[in-house]
């Protein structure tokens, strides 16, 4: 029988046809639908519309825009379950919680080892061979500085943990350097070297961590000898016009997606000398009401981009992060919306099409289980209070299911909205399949599939990993 409760802890390269085509033919124009008003989507069941390019946010074509108010039939009862861990649909089971001192921010699964970055307590390794009951293997006390009161997640480093299970690299902005870690033995991790000046919001390993790119600083670190890392003089962003990024993703060996505005794609077969393949069009600046903030990153997909199956999948997805505290409808769509693009024949047509979107909305106060109080969660899993969670109404890191193939499941972290379990249909439409929201002040920042059923949700402020099981259709 599986025990539920609180778990104790101690302090072959793909063939990319694009590379064979002349770069001049790869000027990609993103076929966007007409822009709609950010306010129009706040409490409605869809967010489609028409308007000029100066309206607050981009929306998806009519009929392809979904919101968190649209819950698919579950096939189980009751619709909402209240457990020791929080609120969830009946198809998501809370198995337990791993309490970790400090601030959990990012992680990476390598086989049966789960590596986690934590401000205040450094770098952790967990044995997840029994995924419903993770066991801490070690904790390397790397000084990463501390998170100041009121700091938003968008200002905290190492959200996207850069490791291949042999070495890892973490930025340390307070020390103005990066630290290279030997984690080949997760029970006895150690610091190999520091790299002065190599700070970055996130690092991304390239070519099995032989190199690493820093996001917002453009840094390139040569890690071929991890005991003697070298900070190169040139920067990856030299080929994108110096455009800073929140994150980069190695879609496939030699192929990197840059989450920025404009989003770009790089040929990194020679990581020390990347080449620009193409960039998507830059988004128009939003027109916002007075005292209403925009997303933390410019553009619709400035936070992170994922293109499943090493860039061979039909669909690519991305988002920008909001730092929105208050009712969702007050804020623009970018920052609370996950976008999906159809990449069909992009090598030949030089275009991608915005196919659909999924937008967070606030809860229906009249439909809350607790009358709209601090834990007022409506029947679709939407918080109804004016201020709930750390960054309120914001999408964040997401991860496709291991079996995602031209559609399928994905789990997305969304701060006060907890975890959103979504399905992408073969037509590229989003459907909400379930949710989980922890008790108290929710600050879910990332999700990771450990098996095809069990996934972990990281909580930024509460320093915890919620262990969850999805029991719905795969």
24-74 pLDDT per residue, tens: 323 333 332 222 222 223 333 333 332 222 233 444 444 478 999 999 999
Q: Tokens in use for 418?
A: 């907890």
pLDDT at 403: 98
Residue 98 DSSP SS3: strand
Alpha-carbon distances, residue 125 vs 30, 40, 110, 136 (angstroms): 41, 45, 10, 6
Full-model pTM: 0.86
Q: What does the alpha-carbon distance between residue 77 and residue 115 come to, in Å, rounded to a whole number?
A: 35
pLDDT of residue 4: 43
Closest CA to 144 of 186, 78, 191: 191
Q: Which fold has domain 30-470?
A: Methylamine Dehydrogenase; Chain H (2.130.10)
The b/e string for 325-364 (b: 16+ C-beta within 10 A; e otherwise) is bebbbbbbbbbbbbbbbbbeebbeeebbbbbbbbbbbbbb
290: Cβ contacts below 8 Å, ≥ 6 apart: none
Question: Could you give the CA distance from residue 20 to residue 305 in angstroms, rounded to a whole number?
Answer: 23
Positions in the chain short of pLDDT 50? 1-63, 372-373, 387-389
Domain boundaries, the chain: 30-470
What value does the mean pLDDT of the chain take?
83
What is the structure's pLDDT at 301?
Answer: 95
Nearest to 239 by CA among 271, 211, 210: 271
Q: How far apart are CA 375 and CA 389, in angstroms?
A: 10
User: String of b and e for 43-82 (b: at least 16 CB within 10 Å)?
Assistant: beebbbbeeeeebbbbbbbeebbbbbbebbebeeeeebbe
């Amino acid at each position: 029988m599986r025990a539920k409760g609180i778990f104790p802890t101690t302090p072959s390269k793909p063939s990319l046809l694009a590379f064979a085509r002349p770069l001049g033919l790869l000027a990609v124009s993103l076929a966007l639908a007409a822009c709609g008003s950010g306010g129009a989507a706040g409490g409605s069941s869809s967010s489609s519309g028409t308007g000029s390019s100066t309206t607050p946010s981009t929306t998806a074509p009519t009929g392809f825009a979904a919101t968190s108010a649209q819950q698919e039939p579950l096939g189980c009862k009751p619709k909402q379950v209240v457990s020791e861990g929080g609120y969830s649909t009946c198809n998501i089971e809370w198995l337990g919680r791993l309490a970790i001192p400090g601030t959990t921010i990012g992680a990476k699964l390598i086989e049966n080892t789960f590596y986690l970055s934590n401000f205040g307590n450094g770098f952790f390794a967990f044995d997840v061979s029994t995924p419903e009951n993770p066991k801490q293997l070690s904790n390397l006390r790397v000084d990463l500085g501390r998170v100041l009161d009121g700091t938003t997640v968008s200002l905290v480093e190492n959200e996207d943990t850069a490791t291949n299970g042999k070495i890892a690299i973490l930025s340390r902005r307070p020390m103005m350097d990066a630290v290279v870690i030997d984690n080949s033995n997760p029970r006895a991790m150690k610091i190999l070297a520091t790299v002065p000046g190599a700070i970055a919001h996130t690092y991304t390993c390239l070519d099995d961590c032989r190199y690493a790119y820093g996001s917002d600083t453009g840094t390139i670190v040569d890690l071929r000898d991890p005991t003697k890392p070298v900070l190169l003089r040139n920067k990856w962003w030299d080929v994108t016009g110096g455009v800073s990024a929140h994150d980069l993703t190695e879609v496939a060996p030699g192929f990197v997606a840059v989450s920025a505005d404009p989003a770009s794609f790089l040929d990194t077969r020679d990581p020390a000398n990347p080449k620009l393949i193409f960039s998507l069009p830059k988004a128009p600046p939003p027109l916002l009401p007075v005292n209403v903030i925009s997303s933390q990153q410019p553009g619709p997909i400035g936070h992170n981009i994922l293109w499943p199956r090493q860039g061979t999948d039909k669909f690519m997805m991305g988002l920008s992060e909001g730092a929105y505290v208050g009712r969702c409808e007050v804020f623009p769509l970018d920052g609370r919306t996950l976008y999906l693009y159809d990449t069909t024949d992009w090598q030949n047509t030089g275009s991608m099409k915005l196919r659909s979107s999924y937008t967070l909305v606030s809860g229906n106060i009249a439909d809350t289980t607790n009358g709209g109080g601090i834990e007022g969660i409506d029947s679709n899993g939407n918080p109804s209070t004016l201020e709930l969670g750390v960054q309120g109404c914001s999408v964040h890191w997401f991860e496709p299911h291991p079996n995602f193939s031209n559609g399928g499941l994905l789990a997305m972290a969304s701060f006060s909205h907890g975890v959103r379990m979504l399905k992408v249909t073969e037509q590229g439409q989003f459907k909400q399949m379930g949710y989980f929201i922890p008790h108290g002040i929710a600050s879910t920042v990332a999700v990771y599939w450990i098996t095809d059923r069990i996934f972990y949700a990281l909580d930024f402020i509460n320093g915890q990993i919620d262990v969850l099981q999805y029991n719905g259709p795969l």
